[in-house]
Chain A
Amino acid sequence: MGNWVLPAITFLPLAAAVILMFIPKERVGAIRMLSIVLSLIPLGISIWLWAACSHAGAQFPNGAQFGIDIPWIPALGVGFTMGVDSLSIPLIFLTTLLTTLCLIYSTIIEVRPKEYFWMFLLLETGMVGVFTSLDFILFFVFWELSLVPMYFLIGIWGGPRREYAAIKFFLYTMIGSMGMLLAILALYFNGGHTFNMLALAKAQPFASASLAGALVFWGLFVGFAIKVPMWPFHTWLPDAHVEAPTAGSVILAGVLLKMGSYGFMRVLMPMMPQQFTAYWKFIAALALIAIIYGAFVAMAQTDLKKLIAYSSVGHMGFVTLGCAMAANLKAPEVSRVMALNGAQMQAFSHGLITSALFFLVGVVYERAHTRDLAAFGGLGARVPVYAGMLAFCSFASLGLPGMTGFIAELSVLTGTYGISPLFAGLALIGIVVTAAYMLWMIQRVLFGKLNPKYEKMPDADAREIISIAPLMALMLFFGIIPGPIMNFFNTASKAMLGLLK
């Protein structure tokens, strides 16, 4: 037996979805209210987790906090095992926060609202479950569970090419996760017939170099890299992001991509450290390509949403770069910790910043019905509140000091510099280009001549401000006082580096 708080936070959204089924679909107001209110409970629990967890307490793989472990399929050695540590708690917080904000933002959804909210709550269960489960089968079930509602969200409420984007997203991710399943099974049979992630991280089944070990590593790696997405596995991302409804893009960028980087840190690094350290240069090179390529491609975009989507590729590149750098065994400990801290911070901060940017894209799209950058201009004077928020978030995204993006990128770069100045220098190109296209985007949207079509564009309303302002507040708060969250990352990094030997 154990602690029931993690099953509660995982399955409460599902329970809410079940309750929702009993409300007639005509009562749209009740559906909206109920799902928002019910989504506050997991949010509350995640804040409580944040406060209640102890940095001195057990860290993966030596144990987990608030753990629960019940035999589930004993014939297979599958357990209902859950537990959290400093690595997962910030991500759970991010998930529950973004879900609530998305639900608030989505109250404008007019088409089939009941199904929409139902899918969203189901999605939340899948996402939280990925971060709470410590059993591979459970992890995999949640991993796939988060796929299905997203498929529907893109396919039903998406843009003009939604059907293509939905199936592309689904098949792409499914290919990755199926390879992952094979790799998981191989880990199981070599790791003492258990799916328990703690036990597998301790056993490290493929500790000696072998072909099987390499295959298993790449199987897992591709599964996670598709999700992150790393270059060259990123091609589903622009389609999915552009076609998804606003809240869908927010969740995609804010949480689903984090599941990939979480997989790197929770699965690949602890369970296959030998392979990870052997291939660190290769992974770092892919990450660098993602950073530079993502930035340059983003610069070439004329579609605002696509621009943000490609900026995600670049930003997530810093996460994987940090992970790869931490795997360089010859480097000084300080730099490695720094790089890994930065990677986690970047994941968290990208979840805040890019989500806010996607919200802002949605806001302007609903008014103008276009995302073509050439059609905008001069909105700064017309919609000042919106302009302020867009400028704020763009600055955060390009790494302005005082916001989370800066802390994150600074940590990754400092860590990288201590290990390989060349890589740090190359990554810097990405940062410069990012600054360039973000500023250029602001210039094209907010300054210049106002398109007469948009003379009557209304400013951001209360609903939009409520869904974006908390993200901005957090960007600023953790940008100025990074201590509270860096504590988490530091603890997690030390635990992880203890395994990377």
Chain B
Amino acid sequence: MQIGNLIFILPALCMSVAAIIVLLLGVVASKRPHKGLDYFFPAQYAAPVFTAIVTGIAGWLAWTELAAIKAGAFTEQAVGLFVVNGHAQLTVDPFAAILSFIAFAGTLVVMFLSQDHFGEDMLHKAEYYSLLMFASVAASLAAAASDLIAIYLCIEFLSLTSYILAAFSKTDRRSAEAGLKYFLYGAACSAVMLYGMSILFGITGGNTALSAIAIGFKGELANSAAGWVAIMFVLVGLGFKLALVPFHFWAPDTYEGAPTPVTAFLSVVSKAAGLAVIVRFLTVVANPASPASSMWYWMLIVLTAVTMFYGNMVAIWQTNIKRMLAYSSIAQVGYLMIGVLTAMSSQVVPVDSFSAALRNNNKGAWDLPGVLIYMFAYLLMNLGAFAVVVVVGKRLKSEAIDSYSGLMKCAPFLASALAVFLISLAGIPPTAGFLGKLFIFGGAIMTGMDRHPELIVLAALGIINSVISAYYYLNVVRVMYFGFSGEGEAPAEPVRGTFAMNTVIAVMLFLTLAMIIFARPVSDMASSAVYSGLK
């Protein structure tokens, strides 16, 4: 292995060091509270500064990598790390680099949310912020993991930190419940996933690298019951991370009980990591070009459809806005999965690596660029919505949708921002959510007209679901805007966010609206990230 390759995981390395520094700061500070080090470098300011720097590095890395690949400077080996028998454990291709940037950027926003939510004097704040940083490291590495061991370690690392974060409000019983529920489901699912991985390891002749497994998987093996079970079990673990129906049971309770910034983290960053892994796993190991995989493929098609309908149908009845966003994010993953399945079904021949899968793909395909774009749009709109929920929830001491009544009067900026984020989540133009859905549904139709008509059905179902979701998203808008006539009844006191929060919300608002104007650079970057022709 070349030391020089470590530059590809530089953001993760920097973040780990920073997280340790923040943790040490906390240890020192706990000896003499409110004095000394903590006075000068309190965790709630140090952590975002570090994260901002790391996000910058991650962005720069993705950018330079894209440029270098366009110039033909890189091969797949060059971006692989910890190579064993010619198979890399981490492959930091542009797809991974961009998702890792999304993970860090999401974490940065979550930190601002945490600052506002917990305030200055939270207990164990250094531990909280360093846990967040470690979790983002795990998410960033998961995006690049191309080996079963690496996948398992990253997913497990991410899960363990998330369990603690979900239970962080120690005095709140709901938070403890959230953490415990998440932990119990997570432990069971990860055990099942590990079992599946061990079967894969066994039947493909002792390989852990995805590409090696794919080679071993080409023949009769894929048809065997063992292979079938192994893939199924791995998908259980990944489905849990993504909260796909029927592995979603933890999601609503955990989302409602966990502190709101943690909920935001779970619904965006943690899902980005799960998504990256499932894309790699499905396109390389389980792509339907091998005949036996068609079974999983059909199962996933059904699960995706059920996930969308379930998330939206249940979200309609929610009265708590966090719970509503939780169910809606289940449905959102369903839309993303349409893109993933399209990418999966575009494979016509078995491949032995992710970049080979991409090379086989139609260069003009929309699916994986769509997944990246939608993920980024989802980061903006979902974190934006959560940011408003944090600010409003803290000021009004309530998360009930009814308490948002007349918000337009006492917080015009926050209410307008939330309205735009929700409209974007519903996928109505001219917002970022529309652009993402255009790519994903368009991609599904393109591949569907070619040879997979079921994808057209899936896109149609996705569109029906967008209409259903518009109902409950707009319900919040209705409560905020229509509930009052201009006089009286609404709470008279203005609700104001801090300067930092308002800035964060304003930036996300701008990006949500501007993404469609800058659709050209965004889509160019996304498609060259995916189809840049890494050799």
CA distance A144 to B516 in the complex (A): 14
Question: With A111-B486, A190-B449 given, is the CB distance from A73 to B519 under 8 Å?
Answer: yes
A163 in contact (CB, < 8 A): yes
Chain B hits for A78, CB < 8 A:
519
Q: Are A193 and B364 interface neighbours, CB within 8 A?
A: yes
Question: With A78-B519, A171-B467 given, is the CB distance from A166 to B482 under 8 Å?
Answer: yes
Number of chain B residues whose Cβ lies closer than 8 Å to a Cβ of chain A: 38
Chain A 53-90 residues near chain B, CB threshold 8 A: 71-76, 78
CA distance A186 to B447 in the complex (A): 11
Select one of B482, B524, B527 contacting A156, CB under 8 A: B482
CA distance A111 to B488 in the complex (A): 13
Among the listed stretches B11-19, B207-215, B379-387, B456-464, which one makes contact with chain A, having 4 or more residues with CB under 8 Å of it? B456-464
B470 in contact (CB, < 8 A): yes
CA distance A379 to B369 in the complex (A): 65
B437 to chain A, nearest CB (A): 9
- Contact code string B71-85 (vs A, CB < 8 Å = 1, else 0): 000000000000000
Chain A hits for B163, CB < 8 A:
none
Q: Are B523 and A76 interface neighbours, CB within 8 A?
A: yes
Q: Are A182 and B429 interface neighbours, CB within 8 A?
A: no
Select one of B449, B464, B481 contacting A155, CB under 8 A: B481
B366 in contact (CB, < 8 A): yes
Q: Are B485 and A111 interface neighbours, CB within 8 A?
A: yes
Q: Are B523 and A162 interface neighbours, CB within 8 A?
A: no
CA distance A185 to B366 in the complex (A): 12
Number of chain A residues whose Cβ lies closer than 8 Å to a Cβ of chain B: 41
Chain A hits for B442, CB < 8 A:
76, 185, 188
CA distance A185 to B441 in the complex (A): 9
Q: Are B471 and A171 interface neighbours, CB within 8 A?
A: yes
B438 in contact (CB, < 8 A): yes
B154 to chain A, nearest CB (A): 31
A25 to chain B, nearest CB (A): 9
Q: Are B423 and A163 interface neighbours, CB within 8 A?
A: no
CA distance A75 to B430 in the complex (A): 18
A152 in contact (CB, < 8 A): yes
CA distance A145 to B434 in the complex (A): 12
B520 in contact (CB, < 8 A): yes
Q: Are B445 and A144 interface neighbours, CB within 8 A?
A: no
Q: Are A167 and B478 interface neighbours, CB within 8 A?
A: yes
A189 in contact (CB, < 8 A): yes
A441 in contact (CB, < 8 A): no
CA distance A174 to B428 in the complex (A): 9
B229 in contact (CB, < 8 A): no
B419 to chain A, nearest CB (A): 9
Chain A hits for B481, CB < 8 A:
152, 155-156
Q: Are B464 and A145 interface neighbours, CB within 8 A?
A: no
A331 in contact (CB, < 8 A): no
Q: Are B430 and A145 interface neighbours, CB within 8 A?
A: yes
Question: With A72-B519, A76-B366 given, is the CB distance from A167 to B441 under 8 Å?
Answer: no
Question: With A156-B481, A170-B470 given, is the CB distance from A186 to B430 under 8 Å?
Answer: no
Chain A hits for B408, CB < 8 A:
115
Select one of B369, B430, B474 contacting A141, CB under 8 A: B430
Q: Are A186 and B449 interface neighbours, CB within 8 A?
A: yes
- Contact code string A171-188 (vs B, CB < 8 Å = 1, else 0): 100110011011001101
A202 in contact (CB, < 8 A): no
B261 to chain A, nearest CB (A): 30
Chain B 186-243 residues near chain A, CB threshold 8 A: none
Most interface-central of A171, A185, A189 (chain B CB within 10 A): A185
CA distance A140 to B423 in the complex (A): 15
Question: With A111-B485, A185-B441, A193-B364 given, is the CB distance from A145 to B471 under 8 Å?
Answer: no
A102 to chain B, nearest CB (A): 20
B503 to chain A, nearest CB (A): 18
Chain B hits for A147, CB < 8 A:
428
CA distance A72 to B518 in the complex (A): 8
Q: Are B445 and A166 interface neighbours, CB within 8 A?
A: no
A159 to chain B, nearest CB (A): 12
Chain A hits for B439, CB < 8 A:
76
Q: Are A167 and B474 interface neighbours, CB within 8 A?
A: yes
Question: With A111-B486, A171-B471, A185-B445 given, is the CB distance from A178 to B523 under 8 Å?
Answer: no
Chain B hits for A110, CB < 8 A:
486
Chain B hits for A179, CB < 8 A:
463
Select one of A74, A163, A170, A178 contacting B466, CB under 8 A: A178
- Contact code string B391-414 (vs A, CB < 8 Å = 1, else 0): 000000000000000001000000
Closest residue of B by beta carbon distance from A75:
B523
B262 in contact (CB, < 8 A): no
B286 in contact (CB, < 8 A): no
A137 in contact (CB, < 8 A): yes
Select one of B445, B474, B478, B486 contacting A182, CB under 8 A: B445
Q: Are A178 and B519 interface neighbours, CB within 8 A?
A: no
Question: With A186-B445, A186-B449 given, is the CB distance from A175 to B467 under 8 Å?
Answer: yes
Question: Other than the known A75-B520, A189-B449, what 11 A-B pairs have Cβ atoms closer than 8 Å?
Answer: A72-B519, A75-B364, A75-B527, A141-B429, A144-B428, A144-B429, A156-B482, A174-B466, A178-B466, A188-B442, A190-B449
Task: List residues of A whose CB falls within 8 A of some B CB.
Answer: 71-76, 78, 110-112, 115, 137, 140-141, 144-145, 147-148, 151-152, 155-156, 162-163, 166-167, 170-171, 174-175, 178-179, 181-182, 185-186, 188-190, 193, 212
The 3 A-B pairs of least Cβ separation, nearest first, read A141-B429, A75-B523, A73-B519
List 14 interface pairs A-B (beta carbons < 8 Å), by A numbering.
A71-B520, A110-B486, A115-B408, A137-B438, A140-B429, A141-B429, A141-B430, A141-B516, A144-B428, A145-B429, A148-B423, A151-B474, A163-B478, A186-B449
